A and B are shown apart, each in its own frame.
Chain A
Amino acid sequence: AQSVTQPDIHITVSEGASLELRCNYSYGATPYLFWYVQSPGQGLQLLLKYFSGDTLVQGIKGFEAEFKRSQSSFNLRKPSVHWSDAAEYFCAVATGSGNTGKLIFGQGTTLQVKP
């Protein structure tokens, strides 16, 4: 069965430090992978996505993610974290075909940024 695992429930980093949020997926076919960010009480905003091609994808707000098929991973990175990056981050994989694919979400990682 398809699944997404985010091993880190909560991460705290200092402002200006680098960040890596881990995501591992289980999916038989070529995955469509996403990272979303959710601020408290808000909906989800797409940070970046991977469908095919270059395995290093750039997203908004200075985020990037690298797809590693051999490790079934799609980790999110940012070289220098800003206080405004404090939020909940979700990794997701799309299943099914066409545009009716369901999204399976990981458990989420809460990012806290220390001043």
Chain B
Amino acid sequence: GAVVSQHPSWVICKSGTSVKIECRSLDFQATTMFWYRQFPKQSLMLMATSNEGSKATYEQGVEKDKFLINHASLTLSTLTVTSAHPEDSSFYICSASPPVGSHEQYFGPGTRLTVT
């Protein structure tokens, strides 16, 4: 149980275009989902916390107009990278927390974004 999927697993897009990444909790409902960014050989950096039915809370330094997050249902959150630039190339990982408070997060397999 507690499976989180991400789609796509990798994507290449041209500079200036937008790309959407989906994060789904497959076998549980997630009131809270998190989006992380990971640079090569580095740790995970929390970008934003997404709560179902409300606006996402962004971490300091993360551009909310560039990284649009939508948590439309208890099983789906999306991250849209708008007007992508090569510096946005990174590994994006989502995680989901079940409703019962346990501080646990279940991680998706990640999405590799390359902006050319």
How many B residues have CB within 8 A of the partner chain? 30
Instruction: Decide yes or no whether B75 CB sits under 8 A from chain A.
Output: no
Instruction: Decide yes or no whether A41 CB sits under 8 A from chain B.
Output: yes
Using Cβ atoms and an 8 Å threshold, which residues of chain A touch B95? 44, 103
Does the CB pair B43–A41 fall under 8 Å? no
Select one of B34, B41, B101, B110 contacting A103, CB under 8 A. Answer: B34
Category for how many chain A residues contact B: 20 to 34
Give, as a whole number of angstroms, the nearest-CB distance from B38 to chain A.
9
Select one of B31, B43, B107 contacting A99, CB under 8 A. Answer: B31
Which of B11-19, B44-52, B63-71, B81-89 is near enough to bind chain A? B44-52
Does the CB pair A102–B100 fall under 8 Å? no
Measured CB to CB, the nearest residue on chain B to A91 is B43
Instruction: Decide yes or no whether B93 CB sits under 8 A from chain A.
Output: yes
Interfacial residues of chain A within 69-115, with CB under 8 A of chain B in the complex: 90, 94, 97-108, 110
In the complex, 23 of the A-B residue pairs with CB atoms within 8 angstroms, ordered by the A residue number, are A41-B112, A43-B4, A43-B6, A43-B109, A43-B110, A44-B95, A44-B107, A45-B107, A46-B104, A90-B44, A97-B101, A99-B31, A99-B99, A99-B104, A100-B32, A100-B49, A100-B97, A101-B103, A102-B34, A103-B44, A104-B46, A105-B44, A110-B41
